[in-house]
Amino acid sequence: MQEIIDIINKANYEYYTLDKPTLTDQEYDRYMQELIKLEEKYPELKQDNSPTVRVGGTVIDEFVKVKHEIPMLSLSNVFNESDIIAFDEKVRKEVKNPVYVCELKIDGLSVSLLYKEGKLIRGATRGDGVTGEDITHNVKTIKEIPLTLKEPISIEVRGEIYMSKHSFEALNELRKERNEELLANPRNAAAGSVRQLNSKIAASRNLSNFIYHLPNAMEYNISSHYEALNYMKKLGFTTNANTKRVNGITELLEYINYWTENRHNLPYEIDGIVIKLDDINKQKELGFTSKYPKWATAYKFPAMEVLTKLKEIKFTVGRTGQVTPNAILEPVRLAGSVISKATLHNEDYVKMKDIRVGDIVSIIKAGDVIPRVEKAITERRTGEELPFEMTSICPICNSNLIKKDAAYYCKNPLCDAKKIEGLIHFVSRDAMNIEGFGENIIEDFYNMGYLRTIPDFYTLYNKKEELMELEGFGEKSINNLLDSIKNSKQNSLDKLLFALGIRYVGSKTAKILAHHYKNIDSIINTTYEELTSIKDIGEKIAESIINYFKDEENLSTIQKLKELNLNMDILSEEIKMNVEFENKTFVLTGSLENITRDEATQLIEKNGGKTSSSVSKNTSAVIVGTNPGSKYDKAISLNIPIWTEQEFLEKIN
Ligand code: IVH
């Protein structure tokens, strides 16, 4: 029996770790069958970590909680080149010429594996990082995870359990045949598999594993992450062959670009690239925040896609009265957040894409933007999906909708939904920024009659005693709320303009208007011609503004707000001297995302600084966007501080 166990373990090592198979599948199966037979015949000789545990069969009653001696941290995220540069810059503050290890970010779930004297004794999920769950019985079925190490040492390693694209597709094929619900993506499938009480199920799922972290490297006399990976490979673990050690940012960006292009050719899903500082002593110096190591980060691919089920299409009414279809989704993780809802825009969008209730749909999220339903995966249809029907009545007030272009509108001025949406918009961050009002509070206050129109916010203090009695509120929270409302009276005109919810007037247009007209009365009295003469104000916006200020009810709202002492002017634009900029010289390089170069230059000047086109030792800081040029390298060589766009904007405040 021991002989066969050794042969099977060696074959596994050669197949998974070295990627050099020495036994044929038939030979492997024959050894396995023989071992199973022998174990049945001599159960007292069966070893705990015999390779036959791979076939599963252990059933547990419940998942036991386990504590991670060293917390299992997750990684901070970066989304673009300038974030990566900022990360590099922070590392450079502590480490000269850092060497990084770049790894694929495997889209699965992390696992901690504990070995005692060379034997696998525990596999655990991450859980909340401190407490996870014991999944040893399922971990033992994963062929890449050695049950016995090459050396009889005690060690904890960490890595990712995942399901290959191929196994995922095969699994869904099978589920389809059996009329079982299809799984949304490999990550969910892998997570669901290790959450099974009976290890036969995990065994049948063909899970895989890569190991990428050795928490106590120092104890094994290892001083670099790359060495740690090699050491773990020598012990029998499967490490990822695409890992690369790089010198400096250029090579790092090359690695990222290569995998952004080629990731779809991999047999498993990855959702980014992990960048780790190689030197473990330096890792220690950089340390951790409460959540993340400061010596590593994860670059997330820009447009990310996940599949999930569209459970229902629900209609909502916005403050303009437009009725929008929304996809209610089986919750799914995408770019670090859980998505359960996504807009479907309008009838044409849904019909053009032929999205049906019950479809498996792909959701994509580019950078930080709102996720959208990209397409229905028609190959996954079962025939039970329901074609989309646009509603003809308002979901809130039941009045008939009116169609204009691609959109349907509820024209009932008394429709509650529009009013509630309008009030929610009024307090939102880019509008009046009144903190403490969640959507639910506004809805409750509306339904209880405290808040029906915008001016009601500013008379709420009259109801203070009553409000304090409401469930979930106390004197402190009501005081905070009322203070926040009071403070908003001092907001600049642009915030108020945006908050009023004039159609097509977004926060940028509101700023342009405020800047041009300086006070609200000038806007009320303006003409269509004057509006359209302003750069960036088109006919549609102009028409909407004119219509808004013709409406008696809107004018009376503004009148009431004036009487309640709300500021209606643009607040002073005078140059504020800012110590970060005063008498300093800046160089811009690379493309900026949120502002143009001209705007950046203006901002620097307004804050008391000046710009120059070349880097010298007199440069105070170089502001870098994406694809920075040689100015960036020069700044590094001259030790000039580097600011990312984000840091620049923060300093400008
Ligand atoms: S390193 C302290 N390396 O990504 C080191 N994580 O978003 C922590 N992941 O929880 C992890 N591939 O589940 C690391 N090559 C890789 C990874 C990786 C996937 C996962 C892991 C982690 C999550 C963080």
What pLDDT was estimated at residue 360? 95
What pLDDT was estimated at residue 261? 85
Q: Is the CB of 269 under 6 A from ligand 1?
A: no
Nearest CA to ligand 1 atom 7: 75
Nearest CA to ligand 1 atom 2: 73
Give the catalytic positions in this structure: 105
Nearest atom within ligand 1 for CA of residue 215 = 2
Q: Is the CB of 73 under 6 A from ligand 1?
A: yes
74 CA distance to ligand 1 middle (Å): 6
Largest CA distance in the chain: 97
The stretches in the chain having pLDDT less than 50 are 367-368, 574-575
How many CB atoms are located within 10 Å of the residue 219 CB? 11
293 CA distance to ligand 1 middle (Å): 11
Please give the single-letter amino acid code of residue 410.
C
* Reduced 3-state DSSP string for 496-552: HHHHCCCCCCCHHHHHHHHHHHCEHHHHHCCCHHHHHCCCCCCHHHHHHHHHHHHCH
Q: Is the CB of 293 under 6 A from ligand 1?
A: yes
Q: How is 43-59 classified by DSSP, letter by letter? A: GGG--TT-GGGGG---B
**Residue to mutate (ligand 1; options 78, 104, 110, 243; most atoms within 8 A of CB):** 110
Question: Looking at the chain, how many residues does it have?
Answer: 653
Please give the single-letter amino acid code of residue 471.
E
Q: Is the CB of 110 under 6 A from ligand 1?
A: yes
Q: Is the CB of 542 under 6 A from ligand 1?
A: no
- Helix and strand totals (H; E) in the chain: 24, 22
Cα–Cα nearest to 512, from 525, 531, 490, 527: 531
Q: By the 8 A CB rule, do 277 and 286 touch?
A: yes
Q: Is the CB of 68 under 6 A from ligand 1?
A: no
Question: Residue 383: which region, alpha, beta or left (left: phi > 0; alpha: psi -120 to 50)?
Answer: left
DSSP 7: H
What pLDDT was estimated at residue 335? 61
Q: Is the CB of 106 under 6 A from ligand 1?
A: yes
What pLDDT was estimated at residue 556? 96
What pLDDT was estimated at residue 573? 54
365 CA distance to ligand 1 middle (Å): 21
Nearest atom within ligand 1 for CA of residue 110 = 13
SS3 label, residue 578: coil
How many CB atoms are located within 10 Å of the residue 413 CB? 9
Q: By the 8 A CB rule, do 391 and 401 touch?
A: yes
Stated pTM of the model: 0.55
127 CA distance to ligand 1 middle (Å): 14
Q: Is the CB of 123 under 6 A from ligand 1?
A: no
Q: What distances in angstroms separate CA 97 from CA 246, 282, 639, one per listed residue?
A: 11, 12, 12
What pLDDT was estimated at residue 22? 87
DSSP 220: G
269 CA distance to ligand 1 middle (Å): 14
Tokens read off for 392:
């003809």
Nearest atom within ligand 1 for CA of residue 293 = 2
